[in-house]
Structure 1
Amino acid sequence: MSKALSHAKIVPRRSSERGHSDHGWLNTYHTFSFANYYDPRFENFGSLRVLNEDRVAAGTGFPTHPHRDAEIFSYILSGELTHRDSMVKKGAEGSQGDDFYRMKRGDVQFTTGGRGIAHSEGNESNETVHFLQIWALPWARGLTPRYHTRTFDEAAKRTAFLPILSPLKAGPGASAAEEEAAEPTLKDTIPIHADFVMAAGIIGVDKRFKWTVGGDAVRKMTNRNVYVHLPMCKNGSAKIRIAGREDAVLAEGDGAFVSGVNAGDVLSIESIGEAEAEVVVLDSD
């Protein structure tokens, strides 16, 4: 264990202990209370509110549904997921854009629910789509609804943790013009209305990546909450170890609550399984 992280508390969240439902068309695991799964111990972690690991069968999906006052993002692991805004009819989409987006591996779509939006997500392909659906609590209610989509480089994720989301640079007091400009704190990331950074890395066998808490992007510098998740991508062959601790070894589907850490602390994550490990870091206030 690194001396610099002796103050950190690391508590694994085992995959088998997550909420789980298999609806046939949807096989879903819930890290936090969601829909019909409720556990008062797992409501949120900092501003992280939802982490669902979903598989949606071909030709099915989530029909048009509303969202309010949540920052919602999808991280595609495999397959294809099509987002449709309620205002865009099938067959009238035009080119890829913020309202319509056919997402594949490497793509992230982000929604500010704000004062209210409606959209759908469907699998219009012929294979199952596997993705993470993540929600964060925004720093203000009643924000203007907004979509963002970006593709993140696979090769870059294999060299180090690649930042994906960072706080809106203008902060909670952003003007309408600054909201429209949507400039993130970290270049080439998606802006989020929260003191929150998301990053992803694909760690080769026997390799180690390091995550600097706060990602040089946050306002709250002390007592941050970092959730580390290892998705179920390699048929059980991936495994990681956090901060060199034997009590913080994660198998696929597991996560870990890392609390009591400060911006600038360095969190090491090693790939110790038989396959490379795709790791998602969710660093919140």
Structure 2
Amino acid sequence: MQERNPEFDSLVPGLPFSRRSFVGASLAAAFALAVQPAIGQGVVQTPADGLVVGDISVRGADGAVVPAYHARPAGAGPFATVLVVSEIFGVHEYIRDVCRRLARAGYLAIAPDLFRRQGDPTKIASVAEILNTVISKVPDAQVMGDLDACAAWAAANGGDAARLAITGFCWGGRITWLYAAHNPKLKAGVAWYGRLAGTASALTPSHPLDLVDKISAPVLGLYGAQDQGIPVSDVEDMRADLAKAGKKAEFVIYPEAGHAFHADYRPSYRAAEAADGWAKLLAWLERWAVGNGEWGMGSR
């Protein structure tokens, strides 16, 4: 039986989007082709005024060039660093906006294109094709190495190496947990509806529930009780296992939210839960000595 995939479950099935129904041609073009926002979606747009933003290239652990987007406040820093890990749709406008939101809260945020060696999901119109031709071929080890390389880049470009955090959405939520088990220098993580269990394979040998003993950083998990791909029982198992292992972690399960409730460009978006989760993210980073004390600058 094929495993359910939360990224796919949260999309509206059977209704191809028309480019004429998008919020606007210029804005729509900045989003992944498979998940374009529609009129009235209420996409959050964070301006870059007063920020340093742009595309960069980072040399991965294997020597490959990894494209990335970064945003930080203007000024010399050093700024606490937040690695931002995308959904399966790659570093499109939603993820770039998340980086700008973090920059407005005082952070240096960097979102690497972790799929580039395997393909560019932003240019693929079919979710199934993204999963089969790109995501299924991405090794966890490659991802961990690329995130390490981005942390090193940040430390050399205005970031504070002693204040490193990570946050990720959907596919990136799972990676957040894995990175908390991979990098002992990580100070905090916030996982948005990241999968906790799954079938082991050569490219994905372990899942978060397998790595509880290795998780070294405090992690906040934000989940929806109505998520059709991540059962609440998995979340409760992770909570119990982390507590038993003496790990620092907290979970919030929003009763009425499903998967991808923070994704303001998708039908799954829930504004109240997204805003509450974002406030909890900022508080979590501040709590674990990652924050810059710039309250009120980030939005949703």
Q: Which TM-score applies when normalising by structure 1?
A: 0.28
* Bigger strand share: 1
More helix, by proportion: 2
